[in-house]
Amino acid sequence: MSISPLSASPTALPTPEIDPVSSADSQTAGVEKASHQFESILLRQFLTDSMKPLLEGGPTGQVYGYLLTDALANSISDAGGLGLSSVLQTQLGTQIR
């Protein structure tokens, strides 16, 4: 078995070609997704406190309370929510360009 010596000169790794347009599009899509998720989380926090009196009446409220709050928060956010998502997209979108 023969072992070849290591090369003393480093070899350059191939540099991937990055399309700036598709990169900006993917970043914009990522900002949009993250802003919707952030708004959903914020709405979920608001709704958890506001729906507490409705969901404390027995084991059913405790079991399904989170699911109801989560579905409601996601629905409100998808429908436009508080408008926070669009503000975040505008602010973060200017940093991408």
* pLDDT given at position 7: 61
29 part of a folded domain: yes
Reading the chain (97 residues) residue by residue, the pLDDT tens digits are 677 666 655 565 665 565 555 677 888 888 889 888 888 889 889 888 888 877 777 777 767 888 888 888 888 888 888 888 888 888 887 776 6
57 part of a folded domain: yes
Would you put residue 45 in left (φ > 0), alpha (ψ -120 to 50) or beta? Answer: alpha
7 part of a folded domain: no
**Distance between CA 48 and CA 73 in Å, rounded?**
10
78 part of a folded domain: yes
14 part of a folded domain: no
Domain count, the chain: 1
39 part of a folded domain: yes
* pLDDT given at position 17: 60
Phi, psi of 86 (to 5 degrees): -70, -35
Domain limits for position 45? 21-96
Closest CA to 37 of 2, 1, 89: 89
* pLDDT given at position 1: 65
Are the C-beta atoms of 96 and 28 separated by less than 8 Å? Answer: yes
